[in-house]
Amino acid sequence: MKTKPIRNGVSLVERLVVIAINAILVLLLLPAINAAREAARNTQCKNNIRQLALALVNYESAHGHFPISQVASGKDTAGQRCDPGFYSWHAQILPYIEENQLYEQIDFNADMADECSDGESGLISSTHPNAIAAATIVPTFLCPSDGYTGNNVEVTGTANPASDNYAGNAGWPSLSTGYDGEREAPAKYNGLI
């Protein structure tokens, strides 16, 4: 009597069915994985805001006032260079977000812009004394949900200063009427960061 051989292998059709089932399961899980990742990025954004708020409070505690939202560009000193200026609150709170090394790299005796523009231009070139510090990315200033590309050359100059996602309300900054009052002052504002 002849016995039928016992088949131990898996057919091609069975393999394709298993692969298809696995692919469908992966496709069903992708939205859940993406939602979990976005929730983690959102949590990081909220943590950044918390860190910045603590830094502002610690700055106020140390100095008796909150940092100025943005210092206007320095006045042109006889065509040689601008007086110090054009720094934002971001630079002022660096020591309070554990960025002391970056804070110490900044030459606060040099204007942060290449031209004395009273804040109208604000371009900074790659040859500026603060170019490296300006281009340094501070993770606390970036929200991971933003999709930051890292290219700011067209907007802020060839130094490609780092972006940030957190702005402050300045109201109307000092020197807003120009160095010698040549621009008419707008309505009075009393904004804080």
User: pLDDT, tens digit, for every residue of 39-78?
Assistant: 888 899 999 999 999 999 999 899 888 887 766 666 666 6
pLDDT tens, position by position, 109-140? 777 777 665 545 567 778 888 888 888 888 89
**32 vs 54, higher pLDDT:** 54
**H or E element at residue 146:** none
Whether the CB-CB separation of 104 and 136 falls below 8 Å is answered with no
Q: pLDDT-based confidence at 169, cuts 50/70/90?
A: low
Reply yes or no on whether the pLDDT at 189 is more than 60: no
Whole-angstrom distance, CA of residue 156 vs CA of residue 134:
10
Asked if residues 92 and 59 have their Cβ atoms less than 8 Å apart, the reply is yes
> Which pair of tokens denotes residue 49?
């805001």
Q: Is 77 helix (H, G, I), strand (E, B) or coil?
A: strand
Determine contact, residues 181/75, Cβ cutoff 8 Å.
no
Of all residues in the chain, the percent with pLDDT exceeding 90 is 20
Residue 191 has pLDDT above 70, yes or no: no
